[in-house]
Amino acid sequence: MSPKVPPLRVSLLVLPEAGIGSVSGMFDTLSSFALLSTFDDALPSTPPFTVELVAATADAVPTASGIALPVHRAVSASDGTDIAIVPSLAVERADWQPGRHPELVEWLGRVHGEGAMLCSACSGVLLIAETGLLSGRDVTMHPAYAATFRSNFPDVRLRLDETLVASGDRGELVTAGASASWHDLVLYLVARHVGPTAAQAVAKFLLLQWHTDGQGPYVPFHPPRDHGDAIVVEAQEWLQAKYAVAAPVTELVERSGLPERTFKRRFARATGYSPIAYVQRVRVEEAKRRLERTSEPVDEISYAVGYEDPASFRRLFKRITGVTPGAYRRKLRLPAFARPG
C-alpha cells in the first residue's frame, strides 16, 4: 500500500467493550504531532493524521472501563476513513459472541472495500474477524482470547508469538498483540506513513516501546483438557505434579497400561504434542514461574524442573520461549524503586 498524502483520516471505534486506556492512548499519540513537533524537528509541523472517535450511534458510549466517551460521529454518518482501528476489548469470561455489533462489522467491511486499513489492538481483532476479511490470513492478539478466537474463526491463523502482524494483499490488515502492544501499532503506523525517524522521535518523547521480544516468552502453556480421552487426561494431571521425575515419558507409558506406540499416538492426537514435547513445555512453564517469583539461581531452577545439565536447560528454554532464562527474569523483574523496602 503506497502512503497517501497527509493528513490521513484515522477512525477509532468506541464500543461498550472497549478499554479506555488503549482508545485514549492511541488517540493522544496520533493527535500529538502539532505539540511534539515544537520539541523535535524530526516531526512534521503539519499533523499527518486527523483522528476521530466513531461508534454505532452519535451518543456517548459507556466503555468497559466504566467511563462514557463522547464520539465525533456515528459510522452511518461517516464519509469513509483511511485507517480504522478497533481498540482492546474486555469480554466477559473471555467468550466472544459474534453478532454483537453488526453495524460496525458492516462499516469495517465497507471502508476496507474503499481502500482503508483495518487495525486492531489486543482483542479488537475479534470484531474485525467477523467481516470475513481475515479468512486464511495470519493475525495476532492477546493470548487470553485465543480459545474463543479459534472457536469462532477456525480459518484464521493465530500467531500468538508475534507482537504485530501485517497481512492482506496490501498489508492493510494490521493486528497487534496483548494490551500494551497498542504502542507497537501506533509506532508502526507512524513509521509506515510518516517515516522511521518520526516513529523514533515519537517513541523517545512519549517513552513508548517496541516490544521486540514478541509475545512468545509470555504466552502461557494451556494444553487442551476437553479432548475426551480419559487416559490422556490422567497422564496430564500426573505430569502437572511429577514433571521433574527422571524418565517421565516411560512413567506415563507404564501408568497408562497401553503399548508405548499406542499411548504416544493417543497422547499426540489428544493434546497436539508428543509426550516428550509436552513434558518440555510443562517444565519450562514451571521454570518461568520460578524465574518470575523467586531469586533461585538458574542452575537450581534447572535441577528443580528435571534437568541436571543447566546448559541443556538453557538451550531448551530459549528454543521454546525465544529468550534466555536470564533475559526472561530481567524482563519481569521489579525495578528497584518498586520493590518493598
CATH number at residue 307: 1.10.10.60
Each residue of 134-164: pLDDT tens digit? Answer: 999 999 999 999 999 999 999 999 999 999 9
Residues 30 and 158 in one domain: yes
Residues 286 and 211 in one domain: no
327-340 exposure pattern, b = at least 16 Cβ within 10 A, e = fewer: bbbeeeeeeeeeee
Measured CA to CA in angstroms, residue 116 lies from 8, 145, 168, 246, 267 at distances of 10, 26, 12, 56, 45
Residues 80 and 195 in one domain: yes
Mean of the per-residue pLDDT values of the chain:
93
In this prediction, residue 181 carries a pLDDT of 92
Is the predicted pLDDT of residue 3 greater than 70, yes or no?
no
> How many structural domains is the chain composed of?
2
Q: Which of 198-207, 242-251, 308-317, 327-336 has the lowest mean pLDDT?
A: 327-336
Answer with the one of 198, 218, 238 that is the final residue of a domain: 218
Average pLDDT over residues 91-96: 90
In this prediction, residue 218 carries a pLDDT of 87
Residues 196 and 69 in one domain: yes
Coil, strand or helix: which one is 73? strand
**50 within domain boundaries:** yes
Q: Which of 42-46, 116-120, 291-295 has the lowest mean pLDDT?
A: 42-46
Residues 170 and 145 in one domain: yes
Each residue of 68-83: pLDDT tens digit? Answer: 999 999 998 888 899 9
- Domain of 109 in residue numbering reads as 8-218
Long-range pairs, 36-39, Cβ under 8 A, ≥24: 36/201, 36/202, 36/205, 36/206, 39/205
H-helix or E-strand spanning residue 283: helix 275-293
For helices 230-242 and 248-256, what crossing angle results, to 10°?
140
**234 within domain boundaries:** yes
**224 within domain boundaries:** no
Residues 210 and 166 in one domain: yes
**327 within domain boundaries:** yes
Residues 48 and 179 in one domain: yes
Give the pTM: 0.87
Residues 36 and 113 in one domain: yes
In this prediction, residue 272 carries a pLDDT of 93
Each residue of 220-275: pLDDT tens digit? Answer: 898 989 899 999 999 999 999 999 999 999 999 999 999 999 999 999 999 999 99
In this prediction, residue 286 carries a pLDDT of 96
Is the predicted pLDDT of residue 2 greater than 90, yes or no?
no
In this prediction, residue 1 carries a pLDDT of 46
Residues 206 and 242 in one domain: no
Return the CATH number at 111. Answer: 3.40.50.880
Q: 207: which DSSP letter?
A: T
**3 within domain boundaries:** no
CA distance 89 to 182: 12
DSSP-assigned beta bridge partners for residue 49: 8
Coil, strand or helix: which one is 52? strand
Q: Which of 32-41, 47-56, 162-171, 234-243 has the lowest mean pLDDT?
A: 32-41
Tell which phi-psi region holds residue 196, choosing left (phi > 0), alpha (psi between -120 and 50) or beta: alpha
CA distance 175 to 338: 32
Question: What percent of the chain shows pLDDT beyond 90?
Answer: 83
In this prediction, residue 5 carries a pLDDT of 60
Residues 202 and 250 in one domain: no
Quote the cell numbers at residue 273.
504434542
Average pLDDT over residues 123-141: 97
Residues 117 and 140 in one domain: yes
